[in-house]
Chains A and B, each alone.
Chain A
Amino acid sequence: ILNVEQSPQSLHVQEGDSTNFTCSFPSSNFYALHWYRWETAKSPEALFVMTLNGDEKKKGRISATLNTKEGYSYLYIKGSQPEDSATYLCARSNQAGTALIFGKGTTLSVSS
């Protein structure tokens, strides 16, 4: 099993702040990197699936970048809102795009 590391473990920001998190993973035998948002009492929700080095994805105020050669991905949230409060998980998948290996997540709390 190849470890996926996320930092920071938790983060508290004020409404309107922009923030970013890091996901690190072994760069060998890379296939895909997934980002999920997991709100309390809900199911994990897929944000992005990224496969190519240099990939950049965007969904509203949230964006992500991928560097497969050095083994990291960044998730950015622009102008954080209280509804962005959640745990953000990244996961590496196997060649079939399944069997996700998750990091332990970054828990974001946004105060209004």
Chain B
Amino acid sequence: KAGVTQTPRYLIKTRGQQVTLSCSPISGHRSVSWYQQTPGQGLQFLFEYFSETQRNKGNFPGRFSGRQFSNSRSEMNVSTLELGDSALYLCASSLAPGLVHNEQFFGPGTRLTVL
């Protein structure tokens, strides 16, 4: 069974631009979460989607948004990029929310650099 895939793996943008990252969950997984990893803050929760609906959102500005499609694939978008948005963005999938011992499987991440 293929793991979580994320595209692109690396991205360089300039301040003010916008970016879209993509995540394909493990087949059969319907819940997708996004996380941001920075050296200073560690791994921080961005948002979670299930059945094309955002279920939870972390403490990030409105420039960060996402969506989920009917095939469970998810995209996240960051508008008006700032230097501080440079980070590794990780996507994780799980079967569905609310399951006992719900295990999340992480993708390899997208490394975003904002110049």
Contact = CB atoms under 8 A, between A and B. Distances in A.
A49 B48 contact: no
Given A43-B4, A44-B90, A96 B42 contact: no
Interface residues of A, number: 26
A105 B45 contact: no
Contacts of B35: 100, 102
A63 B31 CA distance: 28
A36 B37 CA distance: 14
Interface string B59-90: 10000000000000000000000000000001
A99 B56 CA distance: 7
Question: 8 tightest CB-CB pairs across the interface, nearest first?
Answer: A97-B102, A96-B97, A104-B42, A102-B43, A99-B56, A43-B106, A49-B101, A44-B106
